[in-house]
Amino acid sequence: MRDIPFPARSIYHDHVFFHLAPRSLRAADKKRSSTLQSRLAARYRACFHARPDPSQHMANKDVTDPARMEKIVSLCKRRGFIFQAGEIYGGLNGCWDYGPLGAELKRNLKDYWWRKTVQERDDVLGMDGAILTMEQVLISSGHVGGFADPMCECPLTKQRLRADQVPASSPGVEYTFLGASDQTTGKTTDKTFTVLIPDEKQDKDRSAQKIALQYYRDLFGKGSAPKTLDNGWTVQPGPREGELYNPENGVLLSEPRMFELMLKANFGATGDQIAYLRPETAQSIFCQYKNVLDSNRVKLPFGIAQCGKSFRNEINPRNFTFRSREFEQMGIEYFCHPDDGLRLTDEWLEERLKFYGEIGIPREKLHILDIPDGERAFYSQKTYDIEYEFPFGIQELEGVAYRTDYDLGVHEKGAGKSLVYFDEETKEKFLPHVVEPSAGCDRTVLALICEAFDEETLTDEKGKEDIRTVLRFVPRMAPIKVGIFPLLKKNEDQVRICREIQKVLQPWMTVFYDDGGALGRRYRRQDEVGTPFCVTVDFETLGEQGEEMKNTVTVRHRDSMEQERLPISGLLAWLLERVR
């Protein structure tokens, strides 16, 4: 009997772990379901204990805003935040390069996360693990052979869809065509093709034939165009139980097949050594937990934090950088006594919500999904998803999961080395439990951009309207903190003073000198990339309007567009107070 993937009662947030089980189990499982269409999806969700289909938690269509998203993507390219990787060669799907401003923004996020998580806490230490990961590590963790998504293919469009995310089809008539032939070329096939035409559709026979002819035309290839479906067809009520149909065209999808989500690397002189590009930052932390504990003389509870790249062979990378094949995670594995796990999970959730507020993502745009019993990983006693209202729907930014002693347990067993903790005070020996807040760095960058993006209508003195594009980043996240402008680029003294200010500020923050074009246009260029302050050196700075204003500059605020006058000598301190 051929084995087929069966639920392993485990989740990996977005993805499903599979173990192998006999086909008979699947058959028994089939019988239990009543509606066929939803059966498969339900089985993948509930039986697999998979994370619920994210589309169920999406904002309803009215809340999504594709036009806004389009503008954001375009701004990101135009102003050098994010480019598609390998764009000049046509682009590498699911991979992104951060341009100068995107790199600054991402760095600000990672630095602030590190500062808040590691530097400003006594109980969290940092680490930076290898990306290439031993196969044995990922066998123990369950990723090898288990980290895969069930995928179906549409025979017509060749689209790949995740079986657990295909929505139920509404009732209709299912047509199965028994083949086709093309008199002109003599080509013939008895390959069947099935499509479900919904009840509400008029002239079902015609619709079904049209779509079938399209399929056979593609199958025969160029120069062939079957006009009739000579072999005929059968009809029956649909959807049939256990089958999945493409929600866009009603075509019967192929049987789900497992799609490996890890990326393999071959290395060594003969290339026969195997490692994986890590699918998450967590595993190196679990593997080094004892080394960190012993080398740093820390006591429970304590955490290990890591920010770095992870790789997943996502089948449908989408929504700009939201679901990528190469991405960064900012994760903490917080080790604790079993009695403290649930309490600490709630504490970490609060801590993480506070963090999002500090970087400019307001609480009201965040949604907490308390994953119910039966839908969490079997080892998890509590899991929260922190979701954000992206223009394409409400989607996950971070998971805060209480993973019990599952991870240390599997590595202890896999490596054959004790990972038990000895509490000197209580003399208790136990395997620590883990609370894991794991955030996506690229997703948070995207959330920051989406949140900051604004188009403001301004009206001038003559009543003329104009749209000002502004990225309203909180100053600590802004890629450039200060724009520095001479009023007149031909005025050598103004330029010299600008350059002096630049030299003073540069060791502390990213600044941008600009002397091109009218001052108003320079302000707008900085508004568009989110620079919170612009400093202008003018004739007053030179003392031409009197001694009082000498060595002062105009500071213009991005959001209010108000201006104030500050002495150059106090500029650094004034800015530092506002941009850290």
Number of residues located near ligand GAP, criterion CB under 6 A: 22
Cα separation of 161 and 482, whole Å?
A: 46
Tell me whether residue 216 or residue 327 sits nearer to ligand GAP (CB atom): 327
Under rule CB under 6 A, residue 398 binds ligand GAP: yes
Tell me whether residue 407 or residue 514 sits nearer to ligand GAP (CB atom): 407
CB of 145 to ligand GAP, least distance (A): 18
Tell me whether residue 12 or residue 402 sits nearer to ligand GAP (CB atom): 12
Selected range binding ligand GAP among 166-174, 405-413, 432-440, 492-500, rule: CB under 6 A: 432-440
CB of 248 to ligand GAP, least distance (A): 23
Tell me whether residue 174 or residue 314 sits nearer to ligand GAP (CB atom): 314
Tell me whether residue 229 or residue 371 sits nearer to ligand GAP (CB atom): 371
- Per-residue exposure over 520-545, b if at least 16 CB sit within 10 Å of its own CB, e if not: eebbebbbbbbbbbbbbbbebbbeee
CB of 104 to ligand GAP, least distance (A): 20
Listing DSSP states for 443-508 in one string gives: HHHHHHHHHHEEEEEEE-TT--EEEEEEE---TTT-S--EEEEES-TT-HHHHHHHHHHHHHHTTT
Tell me whether residue 50 or residue 484 sits nearer to ligand GAP (CB atom): 50
Under rule CB under 6 A, residue 143 binds ligand GAP: no
Count other Cβ atoms within 10 Å, centred on residue 36: 17
Question: Binders of ligand GAP among 270-309, rule CB under 6 A?
Answer: 280, 282
CA-based nearest residue to 125, from 296, 349, 347, 352:
296
CB of 190 to ligand GAP, least distance (A): 41
Name the residue with the smallest CB distance to ligand GAP: 440
Selected range binding ligand GAP among 28-36, 130-138, 161-169, 324-332, rule: CB under 6 A: 324-332
Nearest-10 crossing angle of helices 492-505, 571-579: 50
Under rule CB under 6 A, residue 14 binds ligand GAP: yes
Structure token pair of residue 6:
């069966």
Could you give the string, one character per residue 435-474, with x where binding to ligand GAP holds by CB under 6 A and - elsewhere?
-x-xxx-xx-------------------------------
CB of 89 to ligand GAP, least distance (A): 22
Cβ atoms of 470 and 488 closer than 8 Å: no
The runs of H, that is alpha helices, within 84-242 are: 100-114, 135-140, 204-220
Under rule CB under 6 A, residue 149 binds ligand GAP: no
Q: Please, which contacts does 213-221 make with residues 24 or more away whose CB atoms are closer than 8 Å? A: 213/180, 214/156, 215/155, 215/156, 215/177, 215/251, 216/177, 216/180, 216/182, 216/189, 218/156, 219/180, 219/189, 219/191, 220/180, 220/182, 220/185, 220/187, 220/189
Selected range binding ligand GAP among 8-16, 18-26, 126-134, 230-238, rule: CB under 6 A: 8-16
Nearest-10 crossing angle of helices 66-78, 441-452: 100
CA-based nearest residue to 535, from 571, 493, 488, 509:
571
The only residue of 104, 149, 396, 412 in contact with ligand GAP, by rule CB under 6 A:
396
Chain mean position to CA 287: 25
Tell me whether residue 380 or residue 552 sits nearer to ligand GAP (CB atom): 380
Tell me whether residue 106 or residue 312 sits nearer to ligand GAP (CB atom): 312
CB of 281 to ligand GAP, least distance (A): 7
Strand ranges (E), 322-432: 326-336, 366-370, 382-390, 393-404, 421-422, 429-430
The only residue of 38, 165, 306, 324 in contact with ligand GAP, by rule CB under 6 A:
324
The only residue of 37, 141, 306, 329 in contact with ligand GAP, by rule CB under 6 A:
329
Tell me whether residue 204 or residue 312 sits nearer to ligand GAP (CB atom): 312
Cβ atoms of 212 and 195 closer than 8 Å: yes
Site residues (CB under 6 A) for ligand GAP? 12-14, 280, 282, 312, 314, 323-324, 327, 329, 331, 396-399, 436, 438-440, 442-443
